[in-house]
Amino acid sequence: MTAAFRSRRVLATVAAVVALLLAILLSLAVGARAIAPSTVLDALLHGATSDDARVVRQLRVPRTLIGLMVGAALALAGTALQGITRNPIADPGILGISQGASVGVVGAIAFAGVHTLTGYVWFAFVGAALASVAVYAVASSGRGGATPVKLALGGAAINALLLSVTTGVLTTRAAALDEFRFWQIGSLDGRDTGVVQQIWPFLLVGAVLVVSVARGLDALALGEDVAKGLGQRVATVRIVGGVGATVLTGAGVAAAGPIAFVGLAVPHIARAIVGGDHRWVLPMAALVGPVMLLVSDVIGRVLFPPGEVPAGVMTALIGVPFLVTLVRRKAVPA
């Protein structure tokens, strides 16, 4: 690796940190009610008691924290899943993990009488975990074990099954439909500090697990036989990385709903910036993911006032041009 390339990576990381700080400031200051940056700083640092300061602390700080955590979680999970499956279109949604969380929330609403976001978290997390186990069980059965192709096909099959279960429950229990739709669309609105306190331990554990297999993901990118020749335990890398991605997805989707496109697009953007080394790709994804989600949320707040376009809709609208541009430049690895 040349000194120029190392310098480029460092500069890119610094630029990503600056972009993240600006996104945080925008999230705190911009909305249906614009608040001056000086007022935001007074609310955070000096305990100001004005109406604007209370809006910042009570409404926008929890929303911004959720955006930071969920954006990083989905981006890390998508990066890990693409590395594990060696599939450039793998993400938590395509592999059925997000749909597992949806089944958990539907069950909570329809059968357990849970009607709060903090209550959804646990059911969504369990649903995502069970879906991940099911996908791996399907893929690992038969000859050859859990190959990348079998993981992708198993994920597609489980995703279709879980989607049918979700639709079946909602069509027979119409009272649950409106409540579920609020969560399913993917949004940062209405989240409070209780949700933050519930999910951050899971996000920390998931991030540690994913980062711990960064070298293994680099080896897998060269092929399974090469990875084994380099001394990597391929099964261990896949299991640890898969568990980490599941924990991250379960917590992230539980907190904000199935936010689209972050887990798919951000890993490609990160690789285009810093190359294919996962020791750089994972931190870059953890920075770019929250930027995409927070900026999407801010644009959704101001696009059609006084209404609000959910962040889950805006991430797809913003993310598609990025990914199309990368494909046209052949930046997405085969």
pLDDT tens readout for residues 22-56: 999 999 998 877 888 888 888 888 777 788 888 88
Phi, psi for residue 144 in degrees, rounded to 5:
90, -15
Range among 93-107, 141-155, 263-277 rated most confident: 263-277
Range among 17-31, 107-121, 140-154, 178-192 rated most confident: 17-31
CA distance 116 to 248: 21
pTM above 0.85, yes or no: yes
The residue that leads in pLDDT, 199 or 94, is 199
DSSP state of 259: -
* pLDDT-based confidence at residue 17 (cuts at 50, 70, 90): very high
> Which is nearest to 105 in space by CA: 191, 31, 184, 212?
184
Structure tokens at 166: 């979700």
Return the CATH number of 77-258, one of 1.10.3470.10, 3.40.50.300, 1.20.272.10, 3.30.300.30.
Answer: 1.10.3470.10
Is residue 212 over pLDDT 90? yes
Residue 210 burial by Cβ neighbours in a 10 Å radius (0-12, 13-18, 19+):
buried
Domain residue spans of the chain: 1-31+260-334, 77-258
Is residue 330 over pLDDT 60? no
Which of 106-110, 318-322, 329-333 has the least mean pLDDT? 329-333
The residue that leads in pLDDT, 234 or 315, is 315
The residue that leads in pLDDT, 224 or 311, is 311
CA distance 79 to 86: 10
Amino acid 227: pLDDT: 76
Amino acid 308: pLDDT: 84
CA distance 153 to 88: 14
Amino acid 180: pLDDT: 78
Q: What is the mean pLDDT of residues 293-297?
A: 93
Amino acid 334: pLDDT: 42
Q: What is the mean pLDDT of residues 253-272?
A: 88
Give just the sign of the alpha carbon dihedral 235, 241, 242, 244: positive
Is residue 276 over pLDDT 50? yes
Is residue 145 over pLDDT 70? no
Amino acid 5: pLDDT: 79
Is residue 332 over pLDDT 60? no
Q: What is the mean pLDDT of residues 297-326?
A: 82
Amino acid 297: pLDDT: 92
CA distance 145 to 314: 38
To the nearest 10°, the Cα dihedral for 293, 211, 81, 194?
Answer: -40
40 touches 56 (CB < 8 A): yes
* pLDDT-based confidence at residue 203 (cuts at 50, 70, 90): very high
pLDDT in tens, 85-136: 888 878 888 788 888 988 998 888 888 888 777 777 788 888 988 998 898 8
The residue that leads in pLDDT, 218 or 178, is 218
* pLDDT-based confidence at residue 331 (cuts at 50, 70, 90): very low
